[in-house]
């Protein structure tokens, strides 16, 4: 298994306008991360999970979980993925995952709740520009899950929590990249190592 957890610092927690994904707390970034995490050319990757932590108004926190092996009717374009996320935030979230579409779940979870949960099945790595080169670690990884920020990055309070759970801080480049670019590079690095 491999996983990604993206922190949406301002991502809306109520239904939003699909014609203005950037205006929904940069929901466009989350949609592109989902697309890069899950989609191949004409197919969906196997054994990938994506977690989105939505911290924007009016009802934070909400978490969305997408399981590639269960997905139906999702396509790689931002608007389609945005439609799934929009539906997910329209439900009243409780602490347990509720399936809102095949392979798409929503719950009310804090970052700590999520990390406690995923740490049962994943080794957690924090992606940051100044981290250790991922190529030095990638061959040793078993069931890695990568945590990354959006356009704002990861705020100090959230970073402190991530560092409590993480097995390492890793970099994919000396440059500050967009979140979705990092997701694509991580998939590439894991693919070439057959993880
Ligand atoms: N201004 C933000 C900052 O300084 O954190 C930029 C955040 S960047 C657009 C989004 C996320 O991608 C970051 O929070 C980090 O998790 C990840 N990221 C960006 N460049 C990276 C790199 N070279 N290596 C690893 N992760 C990176």
8-17 confidence digits (pLDDT tens): 999 999 999 9
Q: How far apart are CA 195 and CA 188, in angstroms?
A: 10
Q: Whose CA is nearest to atom 21 of ligand 1?
A: 129
Whether the Cβ atoms of residue 49 and residue 1 lie closer than 8 Å to each other: yes
Domains recognised in the chain with CATH numbers: 2-192 (3.40.1280.10)
Query: Which atom of ligand 1 is nearest the CA belonging to 149?
Result: 14
Number of H helices and number of E strands within the chain?
Answer: 5, 10
Tell me the HSE value of 191 on the side-chain side, using a 13 A CA sphere: 12
Residue-wise pLDDT tens digits, 94-133: 999 999 999 999 999 999 999 999 999 999 999 999 999 9
* pTM as predicted: 0.98
Confidence of residue 189 (pLDDT cuts 50, 70, 90): very high
Cα-to-centroid distance, 175 and ligand 1 (Å): 9
Which residue is associated with the tokens 């959230």? 158
Question: Residue 153 C-alpha to ligand 1 middle, in angstroms?
Answer: 6
CA of residue 92 to ligand 1 center, whole Å: 31
Helix ranges (DSSP H) in the chain? 27-38, 78-90, 111-118, 156-165, 179-192
């Amino acid at each position: 298994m491999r996983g990604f957890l993206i922190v949406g610092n301002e991502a809306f927690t109520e239904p939003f306008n699909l014609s203005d994904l950037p205006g929904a707390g940069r929901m466009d970034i989350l949609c592109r991360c989902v697309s890069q995490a899950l989609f191949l050319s004409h197919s969906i990757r196997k054994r990938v999970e994506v977690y989105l932590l939505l911290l924007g108004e009016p009802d934070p926190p909400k978490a969305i979980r997408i399981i590639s092996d269960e997905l139906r009717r999702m396509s790689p374009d931002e608007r389609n993925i945005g439609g799934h996320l929009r539906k997910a935030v329209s439900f009243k979230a409780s602490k347990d995952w509720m399936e809102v579409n095949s392979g798409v779940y929503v719950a009310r979870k804090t970052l700590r709740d999520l990390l406690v949960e995923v740490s049962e099945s994943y080794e957690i790595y924090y992606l940051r520009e100044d981290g250790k080169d991922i190529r030095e670690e990638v061959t040793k990884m078993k069931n890695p899950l990568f945590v990354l920020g959006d356009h704002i990055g990861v705020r100090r309070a959230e970073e402190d929590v991530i560092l409590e759970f993480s097995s390492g801080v890793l970099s994919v480049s000396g440059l500050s990249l967009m979140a979705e670019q990092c997701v694509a590079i991580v998939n590439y690095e894991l693919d070439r190592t057959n993880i």
